[in-house]
Chains A and B, each alone.
Chain A
């Protein structure tokens, strides 16, 4: 039972990171594709404003996944991180660039600074989910054996499944981000931006749906056990839930019900991560290491479950408080298109937003 609970923590963490962290990376994708400095200034201003209060907390889900993995499934963690050294190192670099460039851009004083920092932020926002998705693909397709660098350092993450899941991670993040940004723009009373993000949500939603179907085709030829798991029994149920939630999100966005669309888009992603865990049951490393083999000793799992459980008693209300404040607009700063702020602030200026 304890190993299952710990696996549940991992799946919960990956899901939360895919939805919340994914939305932040997706916002970077829209930042990247927003166009020239003045044309894209409005979109970028919205991205900056939406992400600022939440991206750090959203990012912590990744740390959460790592610590649960190395405590509860240490051998799996060691094997994954040694074989998948390259994509994970690239992801780590991307994380440095993404976070620091985002923070620095908030203080950019010239259009050139903003362009360089914005480009760094946006490019790494695409790099990170791709690399993390590719690493997941390497695990899910059974390319990570037990051992120190026991797998192939290149083909373990440059293979059809990895590339597919990497692309899917980027596209899904963009989709969720567009849904969330549309809601945020409406709350900021910027109907034209809300429409712009709604259009992006619809477009990327269709692409994400198509990519998911394409992914199943790739999995069928490249990772047959995973495909079989996803197309039978509980795995199939999860895939269906995801598809229904994804289509429902499209419908909700179409009819401009952006609040409920936040929930259904999250459900669509959660169903995929849960479905993936079900599909490779009983394995942690498919074909290599089962959940029971991977699990740390009873004492460790018990103390971890109790501690994290107690931690959740603090964490859940805290997260609830943060997101409630955010969704009520109580942490909102004044909206300002990003191309409008490029001169040093002077004492006589009215206070600017984003401060």
Chain B
């Protein structure tokens, strides 16, 4: 602790507004929160991307009058409503957990970042209202009014992720308040809302939403394709979903590069953990694979590419990249988890981008879908893989932020509830989410098993 830099840091830290209490279970609380987020985030992807997809197909229907388009748009919107309903409950759990698990985080910083959630509440409301009107309004409202009621669903899906990501960006790059004697003063809610990490995190997540939704939905139709169901309905489902994903996946590489450079700038310790870089180095190498040995302070069995990390992080082969050793051990995140998650995300992301490019090239050059069954098998695999990449990305962001709940300002262990017995809650929650996952899977299978003709067959009776 001789380095004066650490002392400055310590002076900026806060003591919680609820006062010091025992904090027995920060790890258990983190597990519960991570579990709930891992359940909720994939659902959010559908909230982001699915409305745009079914509205696009709906627009095709309005232009052409082709019943297969209507059947598809209707079917997708029903699936979206079901997923939204599950998102409503899993999202509620998250907001409960903020208080149940991290009361002192909320009590101390609620007034700084809360505004974003106020706005999120409004957009969530609008989303809930219009998705219900849209789905229950099929064949009931005038075609034009009905189509228009889908538009707020798309907008509020975006607004919702904007606000939630704003809070996450703020936790990683806190601003908009002053710390005086360990107390948070002078909150500036709009500064906190529009923090420096908001934009790249938002774009990264928003595009991820399209990749995940696109590939998962496309996977369903790719499987139907392999089974020989290649009528207009299935073909449209495949092409539309795949086009969204194939456009988004290569773009994500560019956005990921932007995000990585922002991390290098604002959270060098997180970057060091992502790379397993122990010492600050000029012209730092990038290491593929291997694992980080804490006692030796180096990555074992990895493959090094010289200068690559400096190039990736700063677009300059001679740039200096800060290592883990520049902060005391208790201020470092768990390296192997972060690093493994990061490499998983980047690896899968690259494969998905290649798949997208393969589809795009075939479509552009030959005006048809690829013929090899391996393409369709790859699309089926891409859905689950994109989910893994998504969760890995969030692990990088969130575990990489540790041991801080508010980066370099409040420790996670200082924010946690003083309650005992969180492992009971964690156990229950695991069981409940397993039930929920199985139930939703079962429901979606049943929904997709119905022949599409049922969506448009009989005119609706009152």
Residues of A within 8 A of B (CB): 52-54, 56-57, 59-60, 62-64, 66-68, 70-72, 74-75, 77-82, 85, 88-89, 91-93, 95-100, 102-104, 107, 109, 146-150, 153, 296-297, 299-300, 303-304, 307-308, 311-312, 314-315, 318-319, 321-322, 325, 330-334, 344-345, 347, 349-351, 355
Q: Judge whether A147 and B419 touch: CB under 8 Å.
A: no
Q: How far is the CA of A149 from the CA of B23 in the complex (A)?
A: 10
Interface residues of B in 182-227 (CB under 8 A from A): 185-190
Bound-complex Cα distance A171 to B425 (A): 29
| A303-B190, A318-B152 given; A74·B133 CB < 8 A | no
Q: Please name all residues of chain B whose beta carbon is closer than 8 Å to the beta carbon of A102 when the two chains form the complex.
A: 85
Closest chain A residue to B460, Cβ basis: A351
B461: chain A residues within 8 A (beta carbon): 334, 350-351
Binds A, one of B89-97, B317-325, B397-405: B89-97
A349 to B442, CA, bound (A): 22
The stretch from B136-144, B269-277, B335-343 touching chain A is B136-144
CB of B439 closer than 8 Å to a CB of A:
yes
Q: Does B110 sit at the interface, judged by CB under 8 A? A: yes
Residue in chain A with minimal CB distance to B84 = A56
Known: A77-B103, A303-B189, A321-B129. 8 other contacts (CB 8 A): A57-B129, A57-B132, A75-B18, A95-B92, A95-B93, A300-B189, A330-B140, A350-B458
Contact between chains at B92 and A59 (CB < 8 Å):
yes
Q: Is the CB of B107 within 8 A of A321?
A: no
27 contacts between A and B (CB under 8 A): A53-B136, A56-B128, A57-B128, A59-B92, A67-B95, A67-B118, A70-B98, A71-B114, A74-B106, A74-B110, A78-B17, A88-B96, A88-B99, A88-B100, A92-B92, A96-B89, A100-B85, A107-B447, A297-B111, A299-B189, A307-B118, A308-B121, A308-B122, A314-B126, A331-B137, A347-B451, A349-B454
Given A70-B106, A96-B89, A296-B110, A148-B189 contact (CB < 8 Å) = no
* Contact among B115, B133, B453 for A303, CB-based, below 8 A: B115
Q: A318 and B104: CB pair below 8 A?
A: no
With CB as the reference atom, state the residue of chain B lying closest to A52: B136
Q: A74-B114, A88-B99, A297-B186 are in contact. Are A311 and B18 (CB under 8 A)?
A: no
B417 and A311: CB pair below 8 A? no
Kindly report which residue of chain B lies nearest to residue A300, judged by CB atoms.
B111
User: Which residue of A80, A89, A95, A311 has the most chain B CB atoms within 10 A of its CB atom?
Assistant: A89
Of all chain A residues, which has the CB nearest B456?
Answer: A351
Contacts of B180 in A (CB 8 A): none
Instruction: Verify if B408 is at the interface (C-beta below 8 Å from A).
Output: no
B358 at interface (Cβ–Cβ under 8 A)? no
Residue-by-residue, is B165-194 near A (CB-CB < 8 Å gives 1, otherwise 0)? Answer: 000000000000000000001111110000
- Decide: A300 near B125, CB < 8 A? Known: A78-B18, A100-B436: no
Enumerate chain B residues within 8 angstroms of A325, measured Cβ to Cβ. 133, 137, 141
Cα of A99 to Cα of B81 in the assembled complex, Å? 12
- Contact A315 to B118, CB < 8 A, known contacts A92-B93, A103-B86: no
Given contacts A99-B88, A107-B443, A149-B419, contact A67 B121 (CB under 8 A): yes
B82 within 8 A of A: yes
Interface centre among A98, A153, A303, A350 (most CB of B within 10 A): A303
Distance of A147 Cα from B189 Cα, bound (Å): 24
Q: Are B439 and A75 in contact (CB under 8 A)?
A: no
Instruction: Decide: A62 and B122 in contact? CB cutoff 8 A.
Output: no
B189 contact set on A, CB distance < 8 A: 299-300, 303-304
Bound CA–CA A318/B446 (angstroms): 32
Residue B450 interfacial (CB < 8 Å): yes
Question: Roughly how many angstroms separate A345 CA and B96 CA in the complex, as a whole number?
Answer: 38
7 smallest beta-carbon distances between A and B, as pairs:
A71-B114, A81-B99, A78-B107, A74-B110, A296-B111, A311-B122, A78-B103
Q: Name the residue on B nearest A349 (C-beta).
A: B454
B18 touches A79 (CB 8 A): yes
Bound-state CA distance A153–B424 (Å) is: 15
CB distance from A235 to the nearest CB of B (A): 28
Residues from chain A with a CB closer than 8 A to the CB of B82 are 103
- Taken together as a complex, chains A and B put the C-alpha atoms of A311 and B119 apart, in Å, by 7
Which chain A residues lie closer than 8 Å to B89 at the CB level? 95-96, 98-100
Judge if B314 is at the interface, Cβ distance under 8 Å.
no
The reply on B291 being an interface residue by CB < 8 A is no
Q: Which residue on B lies nearest to A57, using beta carbons?
A: B128
Least CB distance from B452 to A in Å reads 10
Beyond A296-B110, A300-B115, whether A100 also contacts B440 by CB under 8 A is yes
A315 touches B125 (CB 8 A): yes
Contact B17 A74 (CB under 8 A): yes
Name the residue among A78, A93, A148 with the largest chain B CB count within 10 angstroms: A148
**Closest B residue, CB atoms, query A353:** B461
- CB distance A322 to B450 under 8 Å? no
**A72 neighbours in B (Cβ, 8 Å):** 111, 114
Residues of B within 8 A of A331 (CB): 132-133, 136-137, 140
Q: Is the CB of B128 within 8 A of A149?
A: no
Distance A80 CA – B99 CA, assembled complex (angstroms): 8
Bound Cα distance A314, B123 (Å): 9
Query: Considering the chains assembled together, what is the distance between the CA atoms of A74 and B131 in angstroms?
Result: 31
Contacts of A98 in B (CB 8 A): 89
Tell me, yes or no, whether B418 is within 8 Å of chain A by CB.
yes
B residues in contact with A63, CB < 8 Å: 91-92, 95, 121, 124
Q: Are B114 and A319 in contact (CB under 8 A)?
A: no
Q: Which residues of chain B are within 8 angstroms of A149 by Cβ–Cβ distance? A: 21, 103, 417-419
Q: Are A77 and B110 in contact (CB under 8 A)?
A: yes
A325 to B450, CA, bound (A): 28
Contact check: which of B90, B141, B417 meets A85 at CB < 8 Å?
B417
* A128 nearest CB across to chain B (Å): 10
> Chain A residues near B132 (CB, 8 Å)?
53-54, 56-57, 322, 331
Assembly CA distance A299 to B186 (angstroms): 8
Interface residues of B in 400-450 (CB under 8 A from A): 417-419, 425, 428, 432, 436, 439-440, 442-443, 446-447, 449-450
Docked-complex contact A89 and B96, CB < 8 angstroms: yes
Complex: A300 Cα to B108 Cα, angstroms: 13
- Asked if A332 and B133 sit within 8 Å, CB to CB, the answer is no
The CA of A96 and the CA of B129, in the complex, are separated in Å by 20
B288 within 8 A of A: no
Given contacts A78-B106, A95-B93, A347-B451, contact A148 B125 (CB under 8 A): no
Q: Which residues of B contact A350 (CB under 8 A)?
A: 457-458, 461
In the bound assembly, the distance between CA atoms of A193 and B428 in angstroms comes to 39
Q: Which residues of A contact B97 (CB under 8 A)?
A: 92
CB atoms of A82 and B152 under 8 A apart = no
| In the bound complex, CA of A345 to CA of B91 (Å) | 32
Q: Give Cα distance in the complex from A88 to B92, angstroms.
A: 11
Q: Please tell me if B109 contacts chain A, counting CB pairs below 8 Å.
A: yes
**Are A347 and B453 in contact (CB-based, < 8 A)?**
yes
Residues of chain B within 8 A of A53, CB atoms compared = 132-133, 136
Most buried by B among A59, A103, A332: A103
Asked if B16 CB lies within 8 Å of chain A CBs, one says yes
| Alpha-carbon distance between A72 and B111 when the two chains are bound, in angstroms | 6
A96 touches B90 (CB 8 A): yes
Query: B117: CB under 8 A from chain A?
Result: yes
Q: Is the CB of B462 within 8 A of A147?
A: no
Task: Please tell me if the beta carbons of A74 and B107 are within 8 angstroms of each other in the complex.
Answer: yes
Contact across chains for B125 and A78 when beta carbons are under 8 A apart: no
- CB–CB B122/A147 < 8 A: no
